[in-house]
A and B are shown apart, each in its own frame.
Chain A
């Protein structure tokens, strides 16, 4: 017999898509039966109370979680988010229901053995409810009590060799695409760079010293599967600067219909025979492709590496061999002054350990932002407030037309005095000798 009636939630058990309600119910039952004989460190009926409070929100159309609460583990300023229910009398099991962010492994690869160790810890000291994963990338442990936080952290660091992720005004847990582990498009080792920078900047990740949150995301190519360009203060997006590699035999096989375009991604409909002219050449944003007889030609110097032809003909076309990454900065969601896309700052840099050139850019940006940024001002907002020139000055990078969509359409240039011959110090009396009042 369920502790709380959940008639609204129950309606989400039907339909084909996996039902989180059914999953919560099975978890409540497993805890109640406790066949594994776990000495639960938080209330056994925590999941039932969680369903109860969610049902109440479905009824009211409003959340029943209170605002924040400062809890954490000693010496860290992030990784734990305090959460309290605003109906603790009715739902005591979730009166304290804090979140812990656990830094996920790169590419989100796991072994069953390791996942079970995490489950064992979380069943014992928490609700057993997770997010796999949170939006930023962390493994999210949803719901434990204050007293368990240090215990969980101790077991995690001592037994699982595992640390917490970021929250608050610090470096948020960096995340990456699958990259070279299983993708032919990856132009650099996203997991190596993500891990390298995560380890390098552990202090920034755990101890809030920034004006606001700061996100790194690592995409292996311009397809941007982890959406770095839209949501990372610093997006590291793989690219190349030499020629697309062409296998003309495979091109012929695509034209001959022996290989399905786009890896067979359009198999659900009859789109007709593959037409290289309309599907590839006419879709090229820079018009840099053409056929010469049966050969596909590319004017690589004019290619902007949009990936369309490579995505559509992966067996015929491959990324170049002189690979690296572009760094785009300042992306964020709309709070507050509207959403911002990442802006190109470093068109190309090699991604080779120990990544010194990349770290130089990161640290120059942080120095500037920590000095000039207002409380709760994202990097992109500071860039808008002080201008791209201020970012160039802070990073010491030279201006490049690749940094802009187009040059400015107003002439209101803030000339520096040292850029103008003779400077700004002038003598009005000298001027008046030639110009009467």
Chain B
């Protein structure tokens, strides 16, 4: 493994340096049918779940085949995607915001061989490499965060629960039977780099134990004022600790005020929260980002805690499946999960989804909490 230089000279970092050039320009990568008809599309229709076409003013059509996949992806897998794109699509492809891959072709006769090729490819372990689906009134791929594969703050894994959940929801990835589309998202901690707070169903990693305090190292590793300032409930204060006769600067945590957000750990590595029993999953439901019919909504907490049950998180996936089935059975056409819950009332939502309503689900965090309590005599028995 001999070091191979790129040409970069560490002694003269500015020599021949190129910077601030930004991304490659989008139109370098447009398939010809896209470049020709951009801004002139008329309408689209689904041929089957995962396969749809757009018609342009020119009469041109572009057929898209959408496949799901893990966003954690090897170069070996990407090279296979490239091979498929070259075989069927003149070397063009795109990814969607929700980690799907889309293969685009310019005539209908190219669709069937492409779909058959994609569906025929399986990993050695038996799972599909490129399942076709994820469109229309069904469930598309889960957007998610890093989890245990690469992040320092997670309260659950990401790729694991996503794989387990999509296995359970797979039929709806390949179907259009739901009242509207249903978006599932996962964030492995409250930082929500995946922004799951407006999803039909959100899987959120959450800690339940206050930070451990590594007093011996805390003042060496952290800026104590920043750790104190990071706490949204002012539960952290400076203190002195005596260890082996030495007085050390550290912090004390008022544990009854801790909301387990982990913001202190973000600022101070000597305050870890991760814990086998303490960490797990919150299920939220009823959010959306679309402005269609009703305004965008936040997801609401419907299950306060489920344990981390690696490798397949059975309680989490069963809970999600129940919610999906109750929604599929009861909601009206076009109605999103949150719109359904609001129409039938949240008391009915808990009943229909067979979810227990516990005190954890009543908001007690600052002013907005009040606006979520019921200030009317209107309720259902």
Contacts and interface: CB of A to CB of B under 8 A. Distances in A.
Interface string B56-95: 0000001010001111111111110111011000011111
A202 B52 CA distance: 37
A228 B148 CA distance: 27
B45 interface: yes
Nearest to B52: A263
A65 B150 contact: yes
Contacts, number: 457
A112 B93 contact: yes
B357 interface: no
A314 interface: yes
Interface string B97-140: 10101001000000000000000000111111111000111100
A110 B39 contact: no
Contact of B279 (A13, A62, A116): A62
B54 A105 contact: no
Interface string A285-320: 100000000000000000001111001101100100
A331 to B, nearest CB: 8
B71 A333 contact: no
Interface string A259-273: 010111111110100
Interface stretch (B189-197, B237-245, B319-327, B344-352): B189-197
B360 interface: no
A189 B41 CA distance: 13
A132 B298 contact: no
A186 B152 CA distance: 38
Contact of A136 (B6, B68, B131, B193): B193
A105 B290 contact: no
Interface in A200-238: 202-203, 205-206, 222-231
A387 B170 CA distance: 46
Overall SS of chain B's interface: loop
B152 A63 contact: yes
Interface in A147-163: 147, 150-155, 157-158, 160-163
A19 interface: yes
A341 B163 contact: no
B136 A264 contact: yes
Interface in B235-253: none
A318 B55 CA distance: 13
B20 A203 contact: yes
Interface in A70-127: 74-76, 83, 97, 99, 103-116, 118-119, 122-124
A401 interface: no
A260 B45 contact: yes
Given A41-B1, A130-B78, A132-B99, A17 B29 contact: no
Contact of A26 (B6, B74, B197, B298): B74
Nearest to B196: A333
A109 B95 CA distance: 7
Contact of A333 (B20, B72, B195): B195
B381 interface: no
Interface residues of B, number: 150
B23 A104 contact: yes
A40 interface: yes
B257 interface: no
A97 to B, nearest CB: 7
B16 to A, nearest CB: 8
B135 A111 contact: no
Nearest to A376: B230
Contacts of A191: 26-27
B42 A335 contact: no
A12 B74 contact: no
A18 B4 contact: no
Interface stretch (A53-61, A357-365, A391-399): A53-61
B176 A268 contact: yes
The residue among A191, A225, A338, A375 with the most chain B CB atoms within 10 A of its own CB is A338
A66 interface: yes
B32 to A, nearest CB: 12
B355 interface: no
Given A58-B148, A67-B152, A111-B92, A17 B30 contact: no
B310 interface: yes
Nearest to B273: A62
A147 B138 CA distance: 46
27 contacts: A8-B310, A13-B123, A16-B127, A17-B170, A25-B125, A27-B74, A62-B275, A62-B279, A63-B148, A83-B152, A111-B29, A111-B85, A112-B93, A119-B78, A119-B79, A132-B95, A142-B149, A150-B6, A162-B23, A165-B23, A182-B34, A222-B290, A262-B136, A265-B137, A279-B333, A333-B193, A341-B298
Given A74-B17, A308-B293, A376-B230, 9 more contacts: A8-B310, A15-B163, A106-B25, A112-B85, A132-B73, A132-B99, A132-B101, A161-B21, A184-B43
5 pairs of A and B residues whose beta carbons are closest in the complex: A13-B125, A106-B26, A265-B136, A268-B177, A15-B167
Interface of B: 1-8, 10, 13-14, 16-31, 34, 38-39, 41-49, 52, 54, 62, 64, 68-79, 81-83, 85-86, 91-97, 99, 101, 104, 123-131, 135-138, 143-154, 157, 159-160, 163-164, 166-167, 170, 173, 175-178, 181, 187, 190-198, 226, 229-230, 232, 261, 263, 265, 269, 274-277, 279, 287, 289-294, 296, 298, 308, 310-312, 333-334, 365-366, 368
